Amino acid sequence: MPRYTVHVRGEWLAVPCGDAQLTVGWLGREAVRRYIRNKPDNGGFASVDDVRFLVRRCKGLGLLDHEDLLEVALEDNEFVEVVIEGDAMSPDFIPSQPEGVYLYSKYREPEKYIALDGDSLTTEDLVSLGKGHYKIKLTPTAEKKVQKSREVIDSIVKEKTVVYGITTGFGKFARTVIPVSVGKPLIPERCRMLLALRINVLAKGYSGISLETLKQVIEVFNASCLPYVPEKGTVGASGDLAPLSHLALGLIGEGKMWSPKSGWADAKYVLAAHGLKPIVLKPKEGLALINGTQMITSLGCEAVERASAIARQADIVAALTLEVLKGTTKAFDTDIHAVRPHRGQVEVAFRFRSLLDSDHHPSEIAESHRFCDRVQDAYTLRCCPQVHGVANDTIAFVKHIITTEINSATDNPMVFASRGETISGGNFHGEYPAKALDYLAIGIHELAAISERRIERLCNPSLSELPAFLVAEGGLNSGFMIAHCTAAALVSENKALCHPSSVDSLSTSAATEDHVSMGGWAARKALRVVEHVEQVLAIELLAACQGIEFLRPLKTTTPLEKVYDLVRSVVRPWIKDRFMAPDIEAAHRLLLEQKVWEVAAPYIEKYRMEHIPESRPVSPTAFSLEFLHKKSPKIPESEDL
């Protein structure tokens, strides 16, 4: 018998349908009838006939025709919403499809697997798992470690030994309260990352979870059934206790859960729709699921991967701006950076050379000012290797810490099967990722700060030799004036967000947790800083491409022309004022999807592989060493020095 799960005014009802000729309208009326029957005051309705409603799918929110047959309009066990006309939306209403669900609008169940062992997960892998590109399985070695760890727990329970967190409660009054969390739920990508990371930690075999339970958790992940996890509420001390408690709540069939098939619904219905049963926890398994730093580090993985992507592309955007402003490439000379050999600085200078070397990639713009007497540019152009470079090195440092953290056991107590005992410690403390993510925010912000100054130079005719605000008919049109204001506002907001959260600590849990990391906020604000950096660089990318319009018919280097063509494939030139937000969003999307890097990277790598001799334009300060020797007075060999 087909069955449908129907959402009416915040409640979920399972409605069986035995007759093949029943319609969508019947399903809506039957759901409303059951809703009224369950309410002491009949929900405020005299009868079902008084209720006017719409019916829509939870997946995609498409409206359904009341006259359509259920067997034609819906699949068995599909989730639908009944929207009663005249209802005002409650402040705590949870929409079927969460923010960011467009990422799942074309969701296809993945066929490929990533094998987790608890030791070798990368930040790139975790982001891919978050995007739904892979399912999860355990390595045979991980399965054995999990089993041995569980044997220790079973022995403790059998012998009735008093052990914290196994045969006792954990934390003061923890047996009575689930920690409070607030805020909107994590979007599907981030909840998938959180769940995948928790699985990876459990796969290490130090948590005492049973292999049976862990495999159930993996089945939930592979079905993309994602618990409702509020984004706020962790202080990063006893791990991310509050959000991980919500994660576990969904796994045991309580609270809300989301899947591409169902939208938000009661967890028990979502699990049932995917042929899954709620997990029944054994001793120690509750604590194993909720203790650790996975909220901080899963968000931190996204932050560090997006930071890495925008940092690479910032070099390309800045190189395009330098061309538009007719800057010199002398500051990127290999010898300059060899005497201050920070890895990031050297790499950024190399990228600039690979994109701007006009002997290798002829640039008509560069040729137009090759013999000018300009010796040096403003810092925002000349110092890109130094400023962008340290951002790259910061990202590398943070990525190392986050990679270590995602492959670490962060439970308490820890189960050491080789010793046959459990030990209480403090691996759940989030100070490492918290400090690293505070540092990431500070380091990556500088890419936006220097980008905003370059946007100012592009817009300012006294500095750019281009029309004011990059528009031909100034006065009638404001051009990039407001876009520059937006960039300045984002940079200013970042200044506040870069204040480190991990320097603060508030004692919690009756002074048991008397020093905390505030790592959850460190992760969330690092992500926000990265997003602002992306948006500021999107504005610079648009401004630089607009500047190119005023230098035509001259062309820039081949790789930068390819970048220009990419931008023009989604944003047309700015002739007269228009609504700019869609243009900025389109450019932001190019950066977010790393399209700018994909276009330029082959040229950068070709330059690297071919070991092309460095082009060194003639400089007004250059001199001949041979000429210098001729001018130097000769000292007689016999004369004492």
Is residue 233 very low, low, confident or very high in pLDDT (cuts 50, 70, 90)? Answer: confident
Cis peptide before 553 (omega within 30 of 0): yes
Rounded-to-integer distance, Cα 156 and Cα 559, Å:
65
> Structure tokens of 403?
């990679």
More confident residue, 176 or 335: 335
pLDDT (average), residues 342-357: 96
Give the model's pLDDT for residue 641: 37
Is residue 176 very low, low, confident or very high in pLDDT (cuts 50, 70, 90)? Answer: very low
Percent of the chain residues past pLDDT 70, beyond the cut: 87
**Phi, then psi, of 314 in degrees rounded to 5:** -60, -35
Is residue 164 annotated as a catalytic residue, yes or no? yes
Is residue 284 very low, low, confident or very high in pLDDT (cuts 50, 70, 90)? Answer: confident
Exactly one of 104, 113, 164, 564 is catalytic; name it: 164
pLDDT at residue 629 is higher than 60: no
pLDDT at residue 441 is higher than 70: yes
CB 19 within 8 A of CB 41: no
- Domains of the chain in sequence order: 3-84 (3.10.20.90), 113-291 (1.10.275.10), 299-466+527-610 (1.20.200.10)
Is residue 18 very low, low, confident or very high in pLDDT (cuts 50, 70, 90)? Answer: confident
More confident residue, 530 or 73: 530
Is residue 637 very low, low, confident or very high in pLDDT (cuts 50, 70, 90)? Answer: low
Rounded-to-integer distance, Cα 357 and Cα 359, Å:
6
pLDDT at residue 552 is higher than 70: yes
Indicate the range of 7-21, 532-546, 551-565 predicted with least confidence. 7-21
pLDDT at residue 103 is higher than 50: no
Give the model's pLDDT for residue 447: 98
pLDDT (average), residues 256-274: 88
Indicate the range of 39-48, 128-137, 196-205 predicted with least confidence. 39-48
pLDDT (average), residues 50-54: 88
Give the model's pLDDT for residue 640: 46
pLDDT (average), residues 278-292: 89
pLDDT at residue 625 is higher than 70: no
Mean pLDDT, all residues of the chain: 87
Indicate the range of 25-39, 174-188, 254-268 predicted with least confidence. 174-188
Alpha helix ranges (H) inside 23-98: 24-38, 70-73
pLDDT (average), residues 105-124: 89
Q: Which class for 289: exposed (0-12), middle (13-18), buried (19 or more C-beta within 10 A)? A: buried
Cis peptide before 413 (omega within 30 of 0): yes
CB 34 within 8 A of CB 26: no
pLDDT in tens, 365-389: 988 887 776 768 999 999 999 999 9
Quick one: which of 84, 86, 82 has its CA closest to 64?
82
Is residue 112 very low, low, confident or very high in pLDDT (cuts 50, 70, 90)? Answer: very high
Q: Assign 340 to helix, strand or coil.
A: coil
Give the model's pLDDT for residue 174: 38
> Structure tokens of 375?
């010796």
pLDDT (average), residues 350-372: 87
Is residue 346 very low, low, confident or very high in pLDDT (cuts 50, 70, 90)? Answer: very high
Is residue 85 very low, low, confident or very high in pLDDT (cuts 50, 70, 90)? Answer: confident
Q: Assign 597 to helix, strand or coil.
A: helix
Q: What is the CA radius of gyration of the chain?
A: 30
